[in-house]
Structure 1
Amino acid sequence: MSYLVRELKPHFERNIQPLLTLLSKAHVDPNVITLLGLVFVIVGSFFLYMHTYFWSFVFLALGGFADAIDGALARKNGSKNEFGAFLDSLTDRFSDAFPLIAISLSSEKLFSFISLLALVFSFGVSYARARAEGLGHELKVGLFERPERWITLLLGILIGAIELALMVILLGSFITLIQRVYAFKNRTSR
């Protein structure tokens, strides 16, 4: 499990309690937040494709924020269920894909290719964990999980270093995938 997920998530969830309380009292369904987050990511990806970086950053950050609070809201409401977890994981894959596809479609050949490689390895990281869990093993290991990829992408957009962010996402995802394969092999070889 990454440092961000392990150490910072509890602090983040404590700090958003007033918002979660407000959403809970308003009877907002966490699945609505999940789907709204996906809509924000699609809009942000369109702006990214158009090289309108300010609005891209705003909408992608809103999408990331929605993704960060939907599960916390479900836990607060006591409405955590398998369908919500399934929907969240499914929309996460789309949310991971749209910005990288937007970059690929709007970049010259080298960074188009790097963006697609980053997408493939990002999916590999997520799939490795999902497949291990499907086989009955927990696989929460890795240096560069989804929060790190999103923060890297958002920082790259914010400071105008999208190509550098892509390289970091590609390398971090590749390393994390190798870590997960190695960890799973060790656990199942015993």
Structure 2
Amino acid sequence: MKITSTVGRRVFSTIISPLVGLFCLLNVPPNVITITGFVIQATSVYFICDGRLVLAGILILVGGSMDMVDGELARRRGIISKFGAFFDSFFDRYSDTVVLLGFLYYFSTKGEILYTILTGVAIVGAMMVSYARARAEGLGVECKTGVFERTERLLTIVVGALFGGVVLKVAFWILAIGSHLTSVQRFVYVWIKSKD
């Protein structure tokens, strides 16, 4: 069970549908959209470090949305491939890491030692969530379980950035705890499945 519902995903899919249609007409490769999303999120790091969190939050939201656009574009054009999925996941990991590193720098310059450490914990958690799935699938176990995946992490960061202050700090507690909770969920899931 995930925090973001299937209904929410369908609503968002409906919103981006015209954009996907335009990209189809223009024959834009899905990988170009993937890279665009990464560049947008990487750009947000400058504004995070500069303390302009609202603008950073908007860029993170737009860049993160590209993750749904590229997948839907590939499906509509009938060009889904194993390398395309790998390419998407590869840049997702870089996007996640650079954004969180931006916040790590932001908190460190504010003298917020606790939240600097917490951001580091969140980075490790985010990587472990992805690693757990990749390793499990390498062993032949499909592992999509967990309450706090990439979509949930991005939305939490966006809300924290847009509101700032206490909301941002709460967001990073949620990020750190939620990421590791999901990692543990996946560990337990694979452990149970491996005994079947």
Provide the TM-score with structure 1 as the length reference.
0.95
Mapping of residues 1-190 of structure 1, within 5 Å: 1-4=1-4, 6-107=6-107, 108-160=112-164, 161-190=167-196
Assess if the C-alpha contact under 8 Å between 2:47 and 2:53 holds in 1. Answer: yes
In the TM superposition, what whole-angstrom CA distance separates every residue of 1:38-88 from its partner, at most 9, and x where no partner exists? 000111112111111122112111111111211011101111112211110
Q: Which 4+ runs in 1 deviate beyond 3 A?
A: none
> Is the contact between residue 44 and residue 56 of structure 1 (CA under 8 Å) also seen in structure 2?
yes
**Which one-letter code corresponds to 1:86 in the other structure?**
F
Number of residue pairs matched by the alignment: 190
Give, in angstroms, the shift of residue 3 of structure 1. 4.3
Report the Cα offset of residue 137 of structure 1.
Answer: 0.8
TM-score, structure 2 length as denominator?
0.92
**Matches of 2:3 and 2:100, distance apart in 1:** 24
CA RMSD of aligned residues (A): 1.3
Offset from partner CA, 1:124-180 (integer Å, 9 cap, x none): 011101111111110111011110010000000111122111100111111111111
Q: Which runs of 5+ in 2 are unaligned?
A: none
